[in-house]
Amino acid sequence: MSLPVGSHILKDPEAVARAAAERLIEACGESRSERIAICLSGGSTPKVLYGLLSGPDYATRLPWARIHWFFGDDRAVPWDDPRSNVRMVREAFGHGAPIPPTHLHFIPSDAGPDAGARAYERTLLDFYGAERLDPARPLFDLVLLGLGEDGHTASLFPGTPAADEARRLVVPVPEAGLEPFVPRISLTLPALASSRHVLFLVTGAGKRAPLARLAAGESLPAGRVTSTGAVAWLLDEAAAG
Ligand SMILES: O=C(O)[C@H](O)[C@@H](O)[C@H](O)[C@H](O)COP(=O)(O)O
């Protein structure tokens, strides 16, 4: 099966997570600024990576005190809701990851989609220190993303205004008829593109169809993600087919 440009096939989800961890470490090593900005993906795929990072193998391999963690999207539910990406990340990282609490920048998802989107855009710009993103100075060092079976990424669903937003950095997303059937808040393609690296983590046979559609050149949100550097896809054998 043909795959998106920049695809790398690994044996299984654990191998994908370990490869992602190494790329995360590389991205941190390349950063010349005191503060490193990593944008986390939601969903279930990245749980393996987040669990790895909080384990003993990575305790000293990441500059934890310099990293600020952001979210590519979240469901518009309270942080303790089982559908929340904040809850997923907190549970996956557990208590092993030495993350300063002020370095976790959660999307204010219980403020409602509109207010939450505006507030998070403010958070991003305040961290960045300017009102407009400069391509020469990307906001993120690394953006982690997943791939939905319909070709969405973050909460940018095919054929929706959010996926076509070209100006705002964060937008509210109405309930899209997809699990878990709640409104969301999502970074937009311009925000995701403001990164030195973008890394998709894709595992499982259920992702063969969207990967084939992307490889065939279909214009799906996940395929429209760019970066100031490289966009890479870490796939397990089940997804790669
Ligand atoms: O909040 C979310 O759910 C994610 O942002 C979403 O874009 C996810 O990455 C894909 O839907 C893949 O999800 P899985 O990793 O669960 O397959």
Q: Does pLDDT of 152 surpass 90?
A: yes
Token pair of 143 as six digits:
């953006």
Q: Does pLDDT of 111 surpass 90?
A: no
The predicted pLDDT at position 116 comes to 98
45 Cβ closer than 6 Å to some ligand 1 atom: yes
Q: If you average pLDDT over residues 128-135, what whole number do you get?
A: 97
Substitution site in 16, 39, 44 for ligand 1 pocket (most atoms within 8 Å of beta carbon): 44
For atom 11 of ligand 1, the residue with the nearest CA is: 148
Read off the pLDDT band of 70 (50, 70, 90): very high
For atom 10 of ligand 1, the residue with the nearest CA is: 148
- Predicted TM-score (pTM) of the model is 0.97
85 Cβ closer than 6 Å to some ligand 1 atom: yes
Amino acid at 208: R
The predicted pLDDT at position 178 comes to 81
- Closest ligand 1 atom to the C-alpha of 186? 5
The predicted pLDDT at position 95 comes to 85
73 Cβ closer than 6 Å to some ligand 1 atom: yes
- Cis, bond preceding 138 (omega within 30 deg of 0): no
Read off the pLDDT band of 9 (50, 70, 90): very high
CA 57 – ligand 1 centroid, Å: 26
CA 188 – ligand 1 centroid, Å: 15
Q: Which residues pair with 8 in a beta bridge?
A: 234
- Does the complex come out with an ipTM higher than 0.90? yes
- Percent share of the chain, pLDDT over 70: 100
DSSP readout, 119-177?
Answer: HHHHHHHHHHTSSS-BTTB-SBSEEEE---TTS-BTTB-TTSHHHH--S-SEEEE---S
Q: Which residues of 126-159 are buried (b: 16+ CB within 10 A; e: fewer)?
A: eebeeeebeeeebbbbbbbbbbbebbbbbbbbbe
154 Cβ closer than 6 Å to some ligand 1 atom: yes
The predicted pLDDT at position 1 comes to 75
The predicted pLDDT at position 110 comes to 87
